[in-house]
């Protein structure tokens, strides 16, 4: 009679890599707007776990205009420097990542797939159907193209 013994071992993986694999990866679409900030706050107050790793994804829309032999970025391309410290201020484990894409929604979805995200959280301006159709909507794009669950946070208007 022969005995087969199966064993598993971790070749070359550090403790840090193993710990990262066990964390829930949360992508939050972040452009620094009031709506994105609300999504971060909502995440913190409602679904945050101390074992989460949060990626604040700032999707930079490339404008296909050549200027001095360099691609021009949208005006928001420097926002990553201001949103990065937010997660540290909130005592959340994570990082801010700028990504380049044709559209903001496309960049968020692509990066979430690359990172192996478990969920995407995004804010919304709350446009009606007609306005979303004409102007486009980042949250609509994410909902329809994401392979992971999406939470859309809509900030209620304050009554005066």
Q: With DSSP H G I counted as helix, E B as strand and the rest as coil, what are the percentages for the chain, rounded to 5?
A: 40, 25, 35
- When pLDDT is averaged across residues 38-43 and rounded to a whole number, the result is 94
Cβ pair 26, 148 in contact under 8 A: no
> pLDDT tens-digit profile of 48-99?
999 999 999 998 877 533 344 444 444 444 555 666 787 888 889 999 998 8
Give the domains, in start order, of the chain with CATH numbers. Answer: 22-153 (3.40.50.620)
Give the β-pairing of 53-67 and 70-73: antiparallel
Nearest to residue 57, comparing CAs of 38, 76, 83, 75?
A: 83
Q: Could you give the CA distance from residue 142 to residue 139 in angstroms, rounded to a whole number?
A: 5
Residue 134 in this model has a pLDDT that exceeds 70: no
Cα angle for residues 39, 111, 146 (degrees, 5° grid)? 70
Residues 6+ apart with CB under 8 A from 110: 99, 101
Banded model confidence at residue 137, pLDDT cuts 50, 70, 90:
confident
pLDDT reported for residue 90: 80
């Amino acid at each position: 009679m022969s005995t087969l013994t199966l064993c598993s071992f971790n070749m070359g993986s550090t403790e840090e890599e193993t710990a990262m694999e066990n964390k829930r990866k949360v992508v939050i679409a972040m452009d620094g707007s009031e709506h994105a900030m609300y999504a971060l706050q909502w995440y913190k107050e409602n679904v945050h776990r101390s074992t989460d790793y949060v990626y604040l994804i700032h999707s930079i829309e490339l404008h296909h205009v050549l200027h001095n032999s360099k691609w021009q970025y949208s005006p928001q391309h420097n926002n990553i420097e201001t949103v990065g410290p937010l997660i540290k201020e909130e005592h959340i484990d994570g990082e801010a990542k700028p990504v380049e894409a044709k559209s903001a929604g496309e960049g968020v979805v692509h990066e979430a797939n690359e990172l192996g995200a478990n969920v995407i959280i995004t804010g919304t301006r709350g446009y009606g159907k007609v306005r979303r159709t004409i102007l486009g909507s980042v949250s609509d794009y994410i909902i329809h193209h994401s392979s992971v669950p999406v939470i859309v946070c809509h900030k209620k208007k304050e009554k005066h």
